[in-house]
Amino acid sequence: MTIRLIIACLLVSLGNNSFAQQDSVRQRVSYYNSFVAGTLIGCGECANGKDFTFSFLTLHGIKFPTGVKIALGAGMDVYHDWRLFPLVGSITIDSELRDNAVYVQLNSGYSWGRYIYPLENEIYLRQKGGFVVNPMIGYRVGRGKSRMYIQAGYKFQYANVSYTPAWWWGLPPTITREYDLSRVVVQMGFGFR
């Protein structure tokens, strides 16, 4: 009976120690978020010059003690004739050893699209976004509970629209247009830990 009691006490005490160690590791991994907005700079209709349109992204994720941040994000990109809504995964490398520092970030995912430019006499309209890849380099001000971000990069984004125009006889053709919406991105924002 006493041996069973001793073994039970040892198991309980060992179990409590392992939970305490796991809690101390979990405390070092913390939540973070960022909200950035800015402009997309590129050539929509090149004959008309450069376009300056709006871009917004919010990221929510976890920060590891090594300085790696992993997050999921959602946003909106406005183009001359498209509205795209990206859902991305993000990896950021920011060591946070100093209050102000340079960081690198890679966002990648898929954008759902809405084509807003009017087409003449379309019968069937299918609009589709596509994969998005967005490498960024930025400068962070602050490392406490609140921080500001200034970042720049390039957004690789493709979309396409298919439509069938009104046709008088025979089978109507389906017309597909593909759009390369890749642009330079400049953004500012803030975040909380």
Domains and CATH numbers, the chain: 27-118+131-157+180-192 (2.40.160.20)
| pLDDT in the model for residue 34 | 93
| pLDDT in the model for residue 43 | 77
Q: What is the mean pLDDT of residues 37-53?
A: 80
Cα–Cα distance measured from residue 59 to residue 62, given in angstroms and rounded to the nearest whole number: 10
| Tens-digit pLDDT profile for residues 118-173 | 666 666 778 888 899 999 999 999 877 889 999 999 999 988 888 877 776 777 77
Whole-prediction pTM? 0.76
| Tens-digit pLDDT profile for residues 46-105 | 666 678 899 999 999 999 988 899 999 999 999 888 899 999 999 999 887 788 899 999
Q: Which of 141, 133, 132, 136 is nearest to 105 (CA)?
A: 136
**What are the C-alpha distances in Å from 73 to residues 56, 59, 87, 119?**
10, 4, 6, 32
Query: How far from chain centre, in Å, is Cα 89?
Result: 5
Residue 180 scores a pLDDT above 60: yes
Q: Token pair for residue 67? A: 């300085």
More confidently predicted of 176 and 186? 186
Going by pLDDT thresholds of 50, 70 and 90, the confidence category of residue 7 is: low
| pLDDT in the model for residue 154 | 96
| Tens-digit pLDDT profile for residues 93-133 | 988 778 889 999 999 999 998 888 766 666 677 888 889 99
More confidently predicted of 27 and 107? 107
In sequence order, what are the residues at sequence separation of 6 or more whose Cβ sits closer than 8 angstroms to the Cβ of residue 62? 29, 30, 31, 32, 69, 70, 71
Which of helix, strand or coil describes residue 48?
helix
| pLDDT in the model for residue 26 | 46
Which of helix, strand or coil describes residue 67?
coil
